[in-house]
């Protein structure tokens, strides 16, 4: 196997472990990884977002976001409000309960990362972060 193919296989396997571990750690919170990502984007935005803005931030089409937001709203983690600047648009806001649950999801994510990368030194983790960042930008 050439080095490039081997790297691809390693990234795939590590990604699988990360996704599986994160999904498993979110189950007790009643969240999927996609829901947790949507909540993270809303919190990091620091302001209400329109559906289309959140979809763009998540790099998905808006219609794929609807079931995610529906589930979050049903769980009381986000709420929809009419955008006062454009009555045809809907804003998404994280609720206080959503902030609490997201903090637990963030902790779960950290724990999964510790499990995956705990065997690396701080210097190795930094090098890996830089290398993966370079690959992502390419």
- Residue 62's contacts (CB-CB under 8 Å, 6 or more residues apart) are 51, 52, 55
25-58: per-residue pLDDT in tens?
A: 999 999 999 999 999 999 999 999 999 999 999 9
* pLDDT score, position 1: 60
List, in order of start, the domains of the chain with CATH numbers: 3-137 (1.10.10.10)
Helical axes 62-74 vs 51-58, angle rounded to 10°: 110
126-135: per-residue pLDDT in tens?
A: 999 999 999 9
DSSP secondary-structure letter at 38? Answer: H
92-102: per-residue pLDDT in tens?
A: 999 999 999 99
The whole-angstrom separation of Cα 91 and Cα 84 is 9
């Amino acid at each position: 196997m050439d080095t490039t193919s081997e790297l691809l296989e390693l990234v795939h396997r590590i990604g699988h472990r990360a996704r599986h571990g994160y999904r498993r750690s979110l189950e007790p919170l009643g969240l999927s990884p996609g829901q947790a990502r949507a909540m993270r984007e809303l919190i990091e935005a620091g302001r209400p977002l329109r559906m289309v803005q959140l979809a763009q931030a998540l790099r998905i089409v808006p219609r794929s976001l609807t079931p995610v937001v529906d589930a979050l709203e049903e769980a009381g983690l986000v709420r929809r409000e009419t955008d006062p600047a454009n009555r045809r648009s809907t804003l998404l806001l994280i609720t206080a309960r959503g902030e609490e649950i997201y903090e637990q999801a963030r902790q779960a994510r950290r724990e999964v990362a510790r499990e995956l990368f705990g065997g690396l030194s701080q210097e190795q983790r930094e090098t890996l972060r830089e290398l993966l960042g370079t690959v992502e930008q390419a």
